[in-house]
Structure 1
């Protein structure tokens, strides 16, 4: 929960000045262990004369104790599911990726992973404030776990090599959807998956949790057609 709270705070524009103040005093290394506790004490210091926005006060208190756990969620026009729910289904909607900071060479690092849990947090106060986060398991973004063939526009991830250093939580609105395709005829590629990025948004729909999976058949057909084209044109091997 502390990691969740910290991730939300670091992505809240109204909190950035507090983050800078904390880092200047305690350094970056202490953010994930101390920042959320420091912020609450700082904002609610009865001896301080600093005036804080009401939103800052409410967010500094942290989310309500009741947390909603879901196994699927609709955002940015896509249907996301946890890896457990997607397992053994014809289509898998648990793949995600997000762009990180640039590395030493100036190249932007892309993180690829799979959703393990979908969490909705609610904060007290008015207006009502809620936010949805995906807890993901990420693949190693280094050359040992991620390969990029720029000539043929192919990205591969080693699904057996996980990356534990990256923040496991991500705000749902910030992720993009990907699909992973295996190499069924290549034993030497058993540990590797090809990344297929979703290029277009599915058609609009009424979003409800009480709808049968067959209602998404139209979306599945579109995705399957895209996947088939990708496999046919870019994944040929001798």
Structure 2
């Protein structure tokens, strides 16, 4: 006889709240900060100098195809869902309009390797919601000096780096540069020089030059000791 012990199992409070579903009342925001990005809705940001309403989501491989394209779109609304329960669970989702993700018709890769998006083509299926944690930010930039109407439909999707994040090449060596020159002192043989030629072509005999150990260096630096007489002190 097999006993059912499901009634004895305990589940975390957040999972129970999630299973009960969200409240009917939600909160809508024009701005949301997530993962180093500042997202705006299209209506809020379309007249601003910075366009923070573009989003990109990595394509899933549910169909078994490893080369499924990414999805590009704009944020129409930022919705915060509230759930019943003691933990007061909240989930933020983006309501988005998606561009056509078909290669060659909705998106393409230009010669520089940048993704272009046809902003006149829309995604055919109704799938507007994504989690805020899924979204990467992009900025759609039109090409200047485009005369053909067909080319005016394409805009470059520039990927925005999150604030506070620095991209570092994994092959970089962070060893201090001066450590490469930390070689031991090498003793070299002395070289005897009898004459020197200055910039004017005049030859100077080194035998006539007096070299002093410490006083000579002080004289050159202008730090030689000065004897003060009684008259000077007065």
TM range (shorter): 0.5 to 0.7
Gaps of 5+ in 1: 1-47, 205-238
Partner deviation per Cα, 1:118-167 (whole Å, 9 max, x = no partner) = 00011111222101000000110102101123x52121001110103152
**Normalized against structure 1, the TM-score is what?**
0.59
The total of aligned residue pairs comes to 155
- The match for 1:59 is 18
Are the structure 2 counterparts of residues 195 and 127 from structure 1 closer, same or farther at C-alpha, using a change threshold of 3 Å? same
**What displacement does 1:104 show?**
6.4
Superposed CA RMSD in Å reads: 2.2
Gaps of 5+ in 2: 166-234
Partner deviation per Cα, 1:145-202 (whole Å, 9 max, x = no partner) = 01123x521210011101031521010011110001002311322111101001x322
Matched, 1:116 2:76: yes
Larger Rg, first or second structure (1 or 2) = 2
- The match for 2:58 is 99
The whole-number CA distance in structure 2 between the counterparts of 1:145 and 1:201 is 26
The whole-number CA distance in structure 2 between the counterparts of 1:104 and 1:153 is 25
User: Equivalent residue of 1:64, what SS?
Assistant: coil
- The match for 2:102 is 142
- The match for 1:218 is none
**Normalized against structure 2, the TM-score is what?**
0.60
Instruction: Compare the two structures and name the one with the higher helix fraction.
Output: 1
Give the conservation status (yes or no) of the 8 Å contact 1:138–1:166.
no
Give the conservation status (yes or no) of the 8 Å contact 2:14–2:89.
no
The whole-number CA distance in structure 1 between the counterparts of 2:64 and 2:153 is 28
- The match for 1:202 is 163
The whole-number CA distance in structure 1 between the counterparts of 2:133 and 2:5 is 36
